[in-house]
Amino acid sequence: MHNDNNIPEKLLKPYSSKDTEERIYSAWEASGFFNPDVCIEKGVTAPDAESFSIVLPPPNVTGTLHLGHSFEDTMEDVLVRFNRMRGKKTLWVPGTDHAAIATQSKVEKLLEKEEGKRKQDLGREAFLKRVEQFAQESHDTIVGQLRLMGSSLDWSREAFTLDSDRNFAVRTAFKKMYDDRLIYRGHRIVNWDPKGQTVISDDEIVHEERKAKLYTFKYSKDFPISISTTRPETKIGDTAVAVNPEDERYKEFVGKEYDAVFCGVPIHIKIVADESVEKEYGTGALGVTPAHSQIDAEIAKRHNLPTVQVINEYAKMMLGGENLMGKKTTEAREIIAQWLRTEGLMEKEEDIDQNISTAERSGGVIEPLPKLQWFINVNKPIPDRGSKTLKELMLDPVKDASISILPNRFENVYYNWVENLRDWCISRQIWYGHQIPVWYKGSEVYCGIETPEGDGWTQDEDTLDTWFSSGLWTFSTLGWPNNTSDLKTYRPNTIVMPGYEILFFWVARMILMSQYLLGEIPFKTVYLHGIVRDASTGKKFSKSANNGVDPLEVINQYGTDALRMALVTGVGPGNDIKFDLQKVKAYAKFSNKLWNIARFVFENTASLDRAQPLALDAEDQASLDELTALMQEITKEMDEYKFYLVAEKLYHYAWHTFADIVIERCKQKIAAGGPGALSAQQLLVSVFPTIITALHPFMPFVTEELWSMLPDTGSSFLMVEKWPCKA
């Protein structure tokens, strides 16, 4: 609606994000333009256009989204909107992750708090129904928040890592790896959570600095070498002492064997030389406990040493006399320390700071234990791939630049991690998740996509590590293992944009799965973003630190556009962002500035005959040329994923060049009348639509609203208008 001065009524009032954003998002969603198929059907995208595809890193269905998600969603939506406006077949696939351990742990805690029950009280089936209900409620909250952020996701293709289609993909992938003998079941050292009673992955470990004692002692009075440890309770399981082969202090002892009775437990110790031992650390001699240390297990394997387990799944002693048997490890530690003092074997006790591994979800202290688990062998040659291993499949595309990692400093970090990768433990002792597709009947073992026929089969009770299913995400969301049109059109993805902290856990595994199962890369570019931190302390936002900022509260107060600009402007790949609410306030003012600019343009161009050919004077032509050059520059930078620079340049151009200089000059020309006034009016109606079009990927709501008021836009959406530069 326009008034007598041809100014839209809305522009006579201050801009209100609350009155705008929900309405506009609903209109976008109803249009169907988030779906590239609809864009082709309605003629806004050519059927043979180049594709741009990206998958949303699926948020865990454990609660609500935080500022880190808002940061990630904004960057991805900026690229999606830009490429859609460039006329590409643009697909952004939404989805959520079942996050098995995290979600089950959350429901277990709620069950205990609200009903005083454990999962065993409900039984597997009833408990899983409770988890699924929680996950659905969390999912509904998450997708609502994604909509509030303006995320132009194709909701018709939404996926869930535990839905039936993804389950079929998981079982297909597992069976192929099993048949190729890349998946095996065996005893290996794993991260065991005694509180949660499951194996956990490295990424689910939280390292806490705690005070500890470093004890230096000998096993017996006639033992020739002193060792140091913070865990004397494990020493009843020692089978060797390892020294560096170049250490002159211990060369005469290498190869010798000794018997001792350590705190009532007979032990047999062999002295071995191993290059992994650091001469300068401690006494330069390492007590080898193969059952309770990954490093020690590897030493034991190299030297053919026996393994003696002394700690059980509940972090209690399972070896020793009445003084030790059944004791918690912390109790046994002091019992053995006191025995060493009494026997005169203790040489030194030092107070130190130690990083303790704890389980993120349960808080339990991790025990490295030998367990029968399912593993993926990353060093075994793959059938029909020559001598290639999964590890090499992960390295090759980064080394040959088929996949680029931004910032490139993370490439060496990636190489180092993959080259030192151990076999991946994929089984978890929890109920929620993809149950391992292996069945047993007596001595028979069956692995298959479908349940075996006949009676008497029992399925393996373990579930798969969440990263197994999320490793398939870039192609399971496109319909794999079926040969779908989406798989043909949108593979490989153009880019993936996770936080740098999951480079190994997610990105590396997506490369592994895609290279192995499809024989191609999953994406062309990995853009790693940083962590959102507290501006005052620099600490990572977290619930435990009680320093979180709810993005919904920020949106409610200042609008989504302001939050998006505050998050994305000036923050390059791999860099952490210190979130400052003052920055959001500043960009809220920028939204109002655009609103006021629009009102000025409408007021001063109402009489302009827009059909007239351009007749700009030299000064105004120079201004238009400046904008054209800027558009070429930022288009190149957008293609190079330097959107953080583009946002800043557009802000400064709109506010300081256009509003402060160009508009002020146009005011004077229009007031003076004559040819100069016509030139000024034509410049205004040429520049303003370009500004809001270029800003649209960053500030989609206010720009869409302003676009709808422009003459001749009809019912078209800015989100599918052509980008104002062909470069």
The CATH architecture one would assign to domain 176-197+369-464 is: Beta Complex (2.170)
Q: Is the pLDDT of residue 710 over 60?
A: yes
Round to whole Å and give the CA distance between 315 and 326: 9
Residue 604's pLDDT is 93
Dihedral angle at the C-alpha atoms of 13, 19, 20, 24, nearest 10 degrees?
-140
State the Cα–Cα distance between residues 107 and 113, nearest whole angstrom: 10
What average pLDDT does range 672-691 have in this prediction?
94
pLDDT on residue 727: 60
Read off the tokens for 83: 């490429």
Confidence of residue 361 (pLDDT cuts 50, 70, 90): confident
pLDDT value at 133 more than 80: yes
Strands (E), 276-399: 285-288, 346-359, 367-376
* pLDDT, position 8: 85
Distance CA 453, CA 28 (A): 49
What are the pLDDT digits (tens) for 594-651? 999 999 999 999 888 888 888 899 999 999 999 999 999 999 999 999 999 999 999 9
Q: What secondary structure letter does DSSP report for 508? A: I
pLDDT at 715 over 70: no
**Tokens describing residue 725:** 């530069």
- The model's confidence at residue 140, banded by pLDDT at 50, 70 and 90, is very high
The residue assigned the tokens 């993909």 is: 169
Question: Shortest CA distance to 255 belongs to which of 246, 242, 266, 236?
Answer: 242
φ, ψ dihedrals at 370, nearest 5° = -80, 120
Reported as a pLDDT band with limits 50, 70 and 90, residue 21 is: very high
Q: What's the longest Cα–Cα distance across the chain?
A: 108
46: helix, strand or coil: coil
pLDDT at residue 546, rounded to an integer: 61
Query: Is residue 1 scored above 60 in pLDDT?
Result: no
Res. 544 pLDDT band, cuts 50 70 90? low
Whose CA is closest to 174, among 361, 330, 376? 376
Alpha-carbon Rg for the chain in angstroms: 31
3-state helix, strand, coil in the chain (%, to 5): 45, 20, 35
Q: What is the mean pLDDT of residues 409-422?
A: 93
What is the mean pLDDT of the segment spanning 235-257? 96
pLDDT on residue 607: 86
Q: DSSP letters of 349-383?
A: EEEEEEEEEEETTT-PBPEEEEEEEEEE-SSSPPT
Q: What percent of the chain has pLDDT over 90?
A: 86
Amino acid at 57: P
Please state at what angle helix 581-605 crosses helix 551-558, rounded to 10 degrees: 30
> Comparing 318 with 204, which gets the higher pLDDT?
318
Can you give the pLDDT at residue 543? 54
555-720: which CATH number, 1.10.730.10, 1.10.357.10, 3.40.50.300, 3.40.630.30?
Answer: 1.10.730.10
pLDDT tens sequence across 430-452: 999 999 999 999 999 999 999 99
Q: Is the dihedral of CA 435, 437, 441, 444 positive or negative?
A: negative
Helix 21-31 × helix 700-709 angle, to 10° = 80
CA distances from 645 to 187, 473, 497, 572, 633 (A): 52, 30, 17, 8, 11
DSSP, collapsed to helix, strand or coil, labels residue 306 as: coil
* Distances from the Cα of 491 to the Cα of 33, 51, 479, 499, 573, angstroms: 21, 9, 11, 22, 24
pLDDT score for 237: 97
Domain boundaries, the chain: 176-197+369-464, 205-361, 555-720
Whether 429 has a pLDDT exceeding 80, the answer reads yes
CB contact at 8 A, 233 and 386? no
Is the predicted pLDDT of residue 4 greater than 60, yes or no?
no
One-letter identity of residue 592: N
**What's the CA angle centered on 533, arms 593 and 101, to 5 degrees?**
120
HSE value, Cβ hemisphere, 13 Å, CA-based, for 691: 32
Using a 10 angstrom Cβ sphere, with 0-12 exposed, 13-18 middle and 19 or more buried, the burial of residue 5 is exposed
Mean pLDDT check: name the lowest of 97-106, 300-309, 329-338: 97-106
**Is residue 149 scored above 60 in pLDDT?**
yes
Three-state DSSP class for 57?
A: coil
Kindly report the average pLDDT of the chain as a whole number.
Answer: 94
Torsion of CA 485, 488, 489, 494, to 10 degrees: 140
Specify whether the CB–CB gap between 560 and 21 falls below 8 A. yes
What pLDDT was estimated at residue 2?
Answer: 53
Number of Cβ within 10 Å of residue 593's Cβ equals 17
As given in the structure block, the two tokens for residue 47 are: 């059927």
Residue 194: partners with Cβ closer than 8 Å, 6 or more residues away:
313, 314, 315, 364, 365, 367
In one-letter notation, the amino acid at residue 673 is G
Tens-place pLDDT, residues 546-568? 667 889 999 999 999 999 999 99
Question: Do residues 666 and 604 lie in contact, with contact meaning Cβ atoms separated by under 8 Å?
Answer: yes
List all residues 6 or more positions away from 722 whose beta carbon is below 8 Å from its beta carbon: 85, 86, 87
Q: What is the DSSP letter of 539?
A: P
- Fold observed for domain 205-361: Isoleucyl-tRNA Synthetase; domain 2 (3.90.740)
Two tokens, residue 205: 């470990």
Of 248, 327, 243, which is closest to residue 278 (Cα–Cα)?
Answer: 243
Residues in the chain: 727
Least confident of 24-33, 231-240, 500-509: 500-509
Average pLDDT over residues 696-700: 98
CA angle, residues 680, 683, 686, in degrees to nearest 5: 155
Given a contact cutoff of 8 angstroms between Cβ atoms, the answer to whether 195 and 364 are in contact is: yes
Percent of the chain predicted with pLDDT > 70: 98
State yes or no: pLDDT of 542 exceeds 80. Answer: no
Q: With a cut of 90, say whether residue 45 has pLDDT above it.
A: yes
- E strands of 377-522, at which residues? 404-406, 424-425, 427-428, 438-441, 444-447, 458-459, 463-464, 493-496
Within 13 Å of residue 528, how many CA atoms lie on the same side as its CB?
Answer: 22
First-residue to last-residue Cα distance in the chain: 36
Which amino acid, 407? P
* DSSP-derived secondary structure for 460-488: ---EE-HHHHHTTHHHHTTTTTS--HHHH
pLDDT at 545 over 60: no
Confidence of residue 536 (pLDDT cuts 50, 70, 90): confident
pLDDT above 70: residue 371: yes
